[in-house]
Amino acid sequence: MKTDCLVLGSGIGGLAFAIDASRTMEVVIATKRDANESNTRYAQGGVAGVMDSDDSFDMHAADTITAGAGLCHPETVDLVVRSAPSGIEWLIDSGVRFTEDHGRFDLTKEGGHSRRRVFHAGDITGIEIQRALLERARSIPNITFLENTMGVDLWLREDASGTRRVGGAFMLDRDRGRLLTVTADCIVLATGGAGKVYLYTSNPDVATGDGVAMAFRAGARISNMEFFQFHPTCLYHPRAKSFLLSEALRGEGGILRRVDGTPFMHDYHPLKELAPRDIVARAIDHEMKMSGHDHVLLDMTARSPDYIENRFPNLTATCRTFGYDLPTEPVPVVPAAHYMCGGVRTDLDGRTSIPGLFAVGEVACTGLHGANRLASNSLLEAVVFGRRAAAAVMECPDRVRTPDDAPDPPSWMRDTAVSSNVENVMVTQDWDEVRRLMWNYVGIVRSNRRLNAARRRLDLVSREIRDYYLQSPLTPDLVELRNIAGVANLIVRSALSRQETRGLHFNVDYPETDDRRCLHDTEIWLGVNTRVQKLGPTRGE
């Protein structure tokens, strides 16, 4: 298959790129499952943006930088917060129906925000955004969807100047079990996050870090993977699969309590329940370890039952399916892996270090989030950078055209007829081991001893997976196992290189934030270990 642009992923970032770029280019959107299944669909909170007279861009930027623990890139923050109004207007023009109250948008407030600036669609903002953008994209003739088709690897070629640039991707058709080679002038990674690297996550099953793993294997620079955000409040129930209870609940008066009913967040931060997510998640983790209980409680009973029913209908209904009545009783909650703040390093137009390769949304590391993401900045970042990447591609007067010819897949991809010597139980065992290892050793609280143990075991698992590839037919499970093991390794190595505690990275061996030891960004790329980028004099050096 040949196309102007291949987009991997159908969430808000990929759809924003495709809708804008389709004005002048043919775009193919490849999705691992059906196009409706993405991290965007599971976002409950909203999109942050300054639209009120008592708010300002400077205040939004300050909140973002405070949450990011000093590691946000100021130029990225300024760009994104100033682009928020136009990005939100674009979403509205695309058919997104944000909640209104008496003719005005019903702005809400979430943890870390100093003002009400979060646009939402009830408590199912992600579902509404996914619906509207998919409807718009499907109506555009220049956009083609390849559903149930997942990326396996990128392939590079040399252009006339000798520069190695992306040429296309090898894809796996999940329905037919066959390989597809796609050539493209540019490729956009919009594959979302990697929550399935951890045992407990709020992410859907598709979030296996495919984009980061593929980009790393191709030689792209990967940054700040040690910063993985754990959402503080996921419903605790064996059948709930870590169902997310939105930050907006705490923004609307929710109180975190111990199992005996006493509140505890005042012991950890002046903002109490509205403290940044890293602080709330560590507080809950600490309370659980101190008490021996396997959850804490989220109490919404200070608000009237009618208000909770009307403001959070989806959350209320879902809690009831598990036997909890959110408006009238505290419900059990635990932290779960939620958002990857690191990713494929990009510039302000979404370009990666490989010419022709772009990354937008959670898969990218733009510098916006620093050491911790401010609530509801993720959907904002995705729409801003999706549209900026499209503009950069369309406005490039000398866009390099990819020849029609493409390389053959490597032998381990082609030889799918070879009888398998690998039993499925071995793949399942390694899948479970990686996720459990990451949860226990590389979770909310870390230590050098646990990180080094994780690195040694992941190196062994990676060698086992390599053997599976040589012995077994290519399957979606094997592709995903390879990717989660690769991303897990990047997280561990990045965490070992950061010898301080900052934001989402808490190491008991370096329990304090230390500007003298601080790395502004950790970067890893193929063939090189970890490069340190020192902070400038603004950080006291």
Cβ distance 334 to 201 under 8 Å? no
Structure tokens, 37: 């299944």
Please give the mean pLDDT across all residues of the chain.
91
Cα(73)–Cα(64) distance, integer angstroms: 10
* pLDDT per position as a tens digit, 132-191: 999 999 999 999 999 999 999 999 988 878 888 999 999 999 888 889 999 999 999 999
Domain end position, chosen among 290, 315, 338: 338
pLDDT (0 to 100) of residue 420: 53
What is the CATH number for 418? 1.20.58.100
Cβ distance 363 to 211 under 8 Å? yes
Question: Is residue 46 in a domain?
Answer: no
Residues 326 and 418 both lie in one domain: no
Percentage with pLDDT > 70 across the chain: 94
β strands within 78-227, DSSP E: 100-101, 104-105, 118-119, 143-146, 149-158, 164-173, 178-189, 222-223
Cβ distance 218 to 166 under 8 Å? yes
Respond yes or no: is residue 115 known to be catalytic. no
Q: Is 251 exposed, middle or buried (0-12, 13-18, 19+ CB in 10 A)?
A: buried
Cβ distance 387 to 20 under 8 Å? yes
* pLDDT per position as a tens digit, 191-209: 999 999 998 899 999 999 9
* Structure letter (DSSP) for residue 274: G
pLDDT at residue 466 is higher than 70 = yes
Question: Is residue 274 in a domain?
Answer: yes
- Kind of pairing, strands 519-525 and 222-223? antiparallel
Cα(9)–Cα(36) distance, integer angstroms: 10
Cβ distance 524 to 216 under 8 Å? yes
Question: Is residue 247 in a domain?
Answer: yes
What is the CATH number for 327? 3.90.700.10
Cα(339)–Cα(381) distance, integer angstroms: 13
Structure tokens, 223: 């940054």
Cβ-count burial 376-406 (b if 16+ within 10 Å, e if not)? bbbbbbbbbbbbbbbebbeeeeebbebeeeb
Question: Is residue 201 in a domain?
Answer: no
Cβ distance 468 to 528 under 8 Å? no
* Structure letter (DSSP) for residue 272: G
Paired with 507 in beta bridges are 446, 510
Q: Which residue has the higher pLDDT, 466 or 424?
A: 466
Cα(307)–Cα(302) distance, integer angstroms: 10
**Can you give the C-alpha Rg of the chain in angstroms?**
22
* Structure letter (DSSP) for residue 402: P
Structural domain that includes position 313: 228-338
- The whole-model pTM stands at 0.89
Tokens 């804490």, residue?
Answer: 296
Residues 322 and 418 both lie in one domain: no
Residues 525 and 427 both lie in one domain: yes
Paired with 357 in beta bridges are 187
Helix/strand/coil for 302: coil
Percentage with pLDDT > 90 across the chain: 75
Structure tokens, 123: 């408590």
Q: If you count them, how many residues does the chain have?
A: 541
Number of domains comprising the chain: 2
Question: Is residue 179 in a domain?
Answer: no
Cβ distance 62 to 50 under 8 Å? no
Cβ distance 50 to 63 under 8 Å? no
Give the torsion through C-alpha atoms of 518, 523, 529, 532, to 10 deg: -30
pLDDT (0 to 100) of residue 158: 85
Domain end position, chosen among 285, 306, 338: 338
Question: Is residue 403 in a domain?
Answer: no
Paired with 156 in beta bridges are 166
Highest mean pLDDT among 90-99, 426-435, 462-471: 90-99
Question: Is residue 467 in a domain?
Answer: yes
- Kind of pairing, strands 27-30 and 2-8? parallel
Cα(340)–Cα(442) distance, integer angstroms: 13
**What's phi and psi for 499, nearest 5 deg?**
-100, 60
Question: Is residue 506 in a domain?
Answer: yes
Cα(218)–Cα(208) distance, integer angstroms: 17
Per-residue pLDDT averaged across 409-434, rounded? 73
pLDDT (0 to 100) of residue 398: 53
Tokens 């923004």, residue?
Answer: 251
* pLDDT per position as a tens digit, 251-281: 899 999 999 999 999 999 999 998 888 889 9
Give the active site residue among 117, 221, 250, 277.
277
pLDDT (0 to 100) of residue 397: 53
pLDDT at residue 415 is higher than 60 = no
Cα(174)–Cα(360) distance, integer angstroms: 24
17-21, 468-472, 525-529: which range is least confident on average? Answer: 525-529
Domain end position, chosen among 282, 317, 338: 338
* pLDDT per position as a tens digit, 20-43: 999 999 999 999 999 999 999 998
